[in-house]
């Protein structure tokens, strides 16, 4: 998977504060969101990121983690942090 | 080592506008219990969605208004507006506190009679009172508020037939600043129509003029409007006494006080914009100070409040059935209570809170009801914490007009419970069943 330059350039703090140097916009991500961002910046796919989330968090049995990752990527697209054509 | 609890990964853009000159948006506190009874227990007992009424809040609101009135005016009466919520248990709380009944139809009159209300303790409003209805209520001593000349004539015919001289009031409408005029009810004051109606009534000599009545409108957030209305009615009363020797028994200023809801077009939230009862009462009694009569002859001040007494005492508990991510990035919550159940969601941005502790970042969210209808939006875009399927939320200030204007549409109407002052709780209306809906239906033999 090609890692978009915008995603590489995104400034991310440990507390989940994000700064987009292209637009000046700022965002907050929660801890699982940070985990997904880290995974995407490492070039991981949805399944690997979901596995990492399961390893890192106490995930309820009913949770659909893959779907959650997909929705988060949709949010990144809507927020202009990855190109419209980007898929994980 | 214990792993942190999982929540859906989310991202929220920081936006200007979260701060304003009134301070920052208040952090949401979960509402886990109502008057000491856990929301969870209520839903497990009665199901979801569920309307919950607090008896303590009903009583507190009534007594607050009553006591403020009693401090400022010697003769007062609160007539409970049935149309805002005519469930027996709700009416019983107010009647137990001493409220009269204000009804606007024969159906509501039947409900009041069923409750055992003295017919002379009923104010009967509304533009439709059939002659058959008048035949029934006038001999019983119920005071009707005459809305139009045709009704006056009908009441006179009934009085003549029955050989009675019933007490009636005349409803007037008027212009006051800051409130759009409601000219469709009663007789207009400024044009002289109201005096014409009163002269016609006096000349007919079949009805006894006991009071005058006005109702300015609804959800009025400017108390000064009541000062003007009360002053105008006081001047009318002065004229009646000086020109016709009529001493009114009561002046009825209707209802219309705002609750703590926030109208869709309202700039400030209801918590900040809604005047206190004391401001309304102060305005009313200042207006009535224009009365020019012996203190022993002061007319009774009648109020017909509903919304302001019951709205804040009602809650709607609903359960999350799905989470969605909308195309524009907002989160969509689908809950089990829709606009058919919460009719007032068309008018208000209801205050919604979680019924359980929550974590994570609140984000822009739309709350949808369960109907397969595009209009079924319970709240359009509020900043709300993450919720999971099965989580509960509580919509506040829903006590007025919902359990009367709700629609049987697509789903069954939910149960309604009351939580008592000592932690007791019980059904005041059970959940609707199929038989309630199909019972009145017929299929003709020929079909």
Band of pLDDT at residue B24, cut at 50, 70 and 90:
very low
CB burial of B316-339 (b: ≥16 within 10 Å; e: otherwise) equals bbbbbeebebeeebbbebbbbbbb
Q: How far apart are CA B264 and CA B377, in angstroms?
A: 13
Measure the CA–CA gap between B443 and B232, rounded to whole angstroms: 56
- The beta-carbon neighbor of A79 closest among B2, B6, B13 is B13
Domain contains B264: yes
Report the first-to-last Cα separation within chain A, whole angstroms. 7
For residue B5, list its beta bridge partners: A58
Token output for B271:
């918590």
Beta strands in B267-410 (DSSP E): 300-303, 314-325, 331-335, 352-354, 363-368, 377-384, 392-396
B331 lies in a domain?
yes
Q: What percent of chain A has pLDDT over 90?
A: 69
In this prediction, residue A62 has a pLDDT band, given cuts at 50, 70 and 90, of confident
Are B96 and B197 within one domain?
A: yes
Domain CATH for B130? 3.20.20.10
pLDDT at B1 over 80: no
What pLDDT is attached to residue B269? 84
CA atoms within 13 A on the CB side of B21: 2
Distance of CA A54 to the CA centre of its chain: 15
Record: contact A75-B329, CB cut-off 8 A: yes
Mean pLDDT, range A58-68, rounded to an integer: 92
Residues in chain A closer than 8 A to B7 (CB atoms) = 30-32
> How far is B323 from B331, CA to CA, in rounded Å?
7
User: What gap in Å lies between CA B368 and CA B331, rounded to an integer?
Assistant: 11
Domain housing B277: 55-311
Q: What pLDDT does residue B67 have?
A: 96
In this predicted structure, the answer to whether residue B133 has a pLDDT above a threshold of 90 is: yes
pLDDT over 70, % of chain B: 97
Mean pLDDT of chain B: 94
| Interface check B326 vs A, CB under 8 A | no
Nearest residue in chain A measured CA to CA from B324 = A71
**pLDDT the model gives residue A85:** 86
> B401 and B287 in one domain?
no
Indicate if B109 and B230 belong to the same structural domain: yes
Q: CA-CA distance, B343 to B406, in Å (whole number)?
A: 6
More confident call, A2 vs A56: A56
Residue B29's pLDDT band (cuts 50, 70, 90):
confident
DSSP 8-state assignment for residue B276: P
- Residue B168 counted as domain residue: yes
Task: Identify the pLDDT of residue B41.
Answer: 96
B360: closest CA of chain A, how far (Å): 6
Would you say residue B358 lies in a domain? yes
B235 shares a domain with B363? no
If you ran DSSP here, which 8-state letter would residue B345 be given?
Answer: G
Residues B68 and B43 in one domain: no
More confident residue, B27 or B256: B256
- Cβ <8 Å between B12 and A27: yes
Domain edge (last residue) among B311, B345, B378: B311
- Residue whose entry in the numeric block shows the structure tokens 């990144």: A76
Q: For residue B286, give the nearest of B234, B355, B358, B360 by alpha carbon.
A: B234
Residue B446 lies in a domain: no
- A50 has a chain B CB within 8 A of its CB: no
**Is B43 in the same domain as B127?**
no
Q: Is the pLDDT of residue B14 over 90?
A: no
- Whether the per-residue pLDDT at B183 is higher than 90: the answer is no
pLDDT per position as a tens digit, B210-235: 999 999 999 999 999 999 999 999 99
Which ranges constitute the DSSP H helices of B275-317? 277-288, 307-310
Across the A:B interface, residue pairs with CB atoms under 8 Å apart total 79
**Which whole-number Å values give the CA distances from B404 to A85, B83, B262, B399, B411, in the listed order?**
51, 7, 20, 10, 16
How close is the nearest chain B Cα to the Cα of A74, in Å? 7
Contact list, B9 vs chain A (CB under 8 Å): 29-30, 32-33, 35-36, 53, 68-69, 71-72
* A5 to chain B, closest Cα gap in Å: 19
Q: Do the Cβ atoms of A32 and B6 come within 8 Å?
A: yes
Give the H or E element holding residue B19. strand B19-20
B15 within some domain: no
CB contact under 8 A, B7 and A30: yes
- Report the percentage of chain B scoring pLDDT > 90: 84
CA angle B3, B5, B9 (to 5 degrees): 115
Last residue of a domain, one of B248, B279, B311: B311
> How buried is B153 (Cβ within 10 angstroms: 0-12 exposed, 13-18 middle, 19+ buried)?
middle
Residue from B3, B11, B18 to probe the interface with A (highest A Cβ count within 10 Å): B11
Model pTM score: 0.86
Q: Which of A26, A59, A65 sits opposite B14 (nearest CB)?
A: A26
CB contact under 8 A, B6 and A28: no
Express each pLDDT in B339-378 by its tens digit. Answer: 999 999 999 999 999 999 987 788 899 999 999 999 999 9
Number of domains in chain B: 2
Residues B341 and B369 sit within 8 Å (Cβ to Cβ)? yes
CB–CB contact A60 B360 (8 Å): no
Q: Is the pLDDT of residue B190 over 90?
A: yes
Residues 6+ apart with CB under 8 A from B54: B34, B35, B313, B314, B315, B418, B419
The SS3 assignment for B441 reads coil
Report which DSSP code applies to B6: P
Residue B268 has pLDDT above 90, yes or no: no
The verdict on B239 and B171 lying in the same domain is yes
Q: Which residues of A touch B5 (CB under 8 A)?
A: 57-58
The question of ipTM being above 0.90 is answered as yes
What's the CA gap between B438 and B149, in Å, rounded?
41
State how far the Cα of B296 lies from the Cα of B402, in Å rounded to an integer.
42
The span from the CA of B230 to the CA of B217, in Å, is 14
The Cα–Cα gap between B428 and B434 comes to 19
CATH code for the domain in which residue B425 is found: 2.40.37.10
Distance from CA of A32 to the nearest CA of B (A): 5
Do B242 and B167 belong to one domain? yes
Assign B351 to helix, strand or coil.
Answer: coil
Mean pLDDT of B4-26: 70
CB contact under 8 A, A28 and B360: no
Whether the Cβ atoms of residue B99 and residue B59 lie closer than 8 Å to each other? no
Residue B409 lies inside a defined structural domain of this protein: yes
Q: Which three-class secondary structure state does DSSP give residue B241?
A: helix
Residue B439 placed within a domain? no
Residues B130 and B240 placed together within one structural domain of the fold = yes
Domain ranges for chain A, please list them. 5-78
What is the phi/psi pair of residue B210, to 5°?
-100, -25
Write out the E strands in B65-190: 76-81, 100-103, 122-124, 143-146, 167-173, 187-188
Are B74 and B89 contacting, i.e. CB atoms less than 8 angstroms apart? no
Query: Per residue in B15-32, is it b (16+ CB within 10 Å) or e — as a string?
Result: eeeeeeeeeeeeebebbe
Tell me, what DSSP letter sits at residue B306? Answer: -
User: Pick from B264, B290, B311: which residue ends a domain?
Assistant: B311
Tell me if chain B has a CB within 8 Å of the CB of A23.
Answer: no
């Amino acid at each position: 998977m090609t890692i978009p330059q915008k995603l590489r350039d995104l400034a991310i703090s440990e507390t989940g504060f994000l700064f987009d140097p292209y637009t000046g916009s700022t965002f907050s991500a929660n801890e699982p969101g940070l985990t997904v961002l880290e995974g995407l910046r490492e070039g991981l796919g949805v399944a690997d990121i979901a596995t990492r989330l399961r390893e890192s968090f106490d995930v309820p049995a009913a949770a659909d983690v893959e779907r959650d990752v997909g929705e988060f990527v949709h949010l990144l697209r809507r927020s202009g942090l990855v190109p419209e054509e980007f898929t994980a | 080592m214990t792993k942190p609890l999982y929540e859906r990964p989310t991202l929220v853009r920081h936006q200007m506008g979260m701060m304003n000159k009134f301070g920052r948006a208040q952090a949401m506190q979960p509402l886990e219990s109502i008057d000491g009874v856990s929301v969870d227990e209520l839903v497990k007992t009665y199901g979801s969605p569920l309307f919950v009424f607090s008896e303590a809040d009903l009583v507190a609101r009534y007594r607050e208004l009553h006591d403020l009135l009693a401090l400022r005016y010697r003769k007062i009466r609160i007539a409970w507006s049935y149309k805002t919520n005519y469930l027996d248990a709700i009416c019983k709380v107010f009647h137990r506190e001493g409220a009269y009944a204000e009804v606007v139809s024969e159906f509501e009159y039947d409900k009041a009679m069923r409750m055992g209300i003295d017919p002379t303790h009923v104010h009967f409003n509304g533009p439709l009172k059939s002659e058959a209805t008048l035949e029934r209520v006038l001999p019983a001593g119920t005071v009707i508020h005459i809305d139009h000349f045709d009704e006056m004539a009908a009441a006179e015919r009934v009085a003549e037939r029955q050989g009675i001289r019933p007490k009636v009031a005349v409803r007037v409408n008027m212009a006051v600043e800051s409130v759009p005029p409601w000219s469709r009810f009663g007789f207009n004051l400024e044009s002289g129509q109201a005096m014409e109606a009163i002269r016609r009534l006096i000349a007919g000599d079949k009805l006894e003029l006991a009071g005058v009545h006005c109702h300015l409108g609804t959800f009025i957030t400017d108390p000064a409007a009541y000062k003007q209305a009360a002053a105008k009615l006081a001047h009318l009363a002065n004229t009646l006494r000086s020109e016709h020797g009529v001493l009114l028994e009561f002046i009825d200023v209707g209802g219309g006080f705002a609750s703590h809801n926030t109208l869709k077009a309202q700039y400030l939230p209801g918590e900040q914009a809604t005047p206190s009862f004391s401001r309304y009462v102060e305005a009313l009694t200042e207006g009535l100070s224009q009365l020019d009569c012996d203190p022993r002859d002061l007319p009774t001040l009648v109020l017909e409040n509903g919304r302001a007494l019951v709205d804040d005492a009602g809650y709607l508990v609903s359960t999350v059935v799905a989470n969605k991510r909308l195309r524009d990035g907002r989160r969509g919550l689908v809950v089990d209570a829709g606009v058919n159940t919460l009719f007032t969601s068309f008018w208000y941005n209801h205050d919604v809170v979680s019924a359980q502790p929550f974590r994570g970042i609140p984000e822009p969210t739309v709350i949808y009801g369960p109907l397969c209808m595009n209009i079924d939006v319970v709240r359009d875009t509020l900043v709300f914490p993450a919720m999971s399927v099965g989580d509960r939320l509580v919509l506040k200030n829903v006590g007025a007009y919902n359990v009367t204007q709700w629609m049987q549409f697509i789903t069954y109407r939910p149960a309604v419970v009351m939580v008592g002052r000592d932690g007791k709780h019980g059904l005041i209306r059970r959940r609707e069943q199929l038989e309630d809906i199909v019972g009145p239906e017929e299929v003709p033999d020929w079909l």
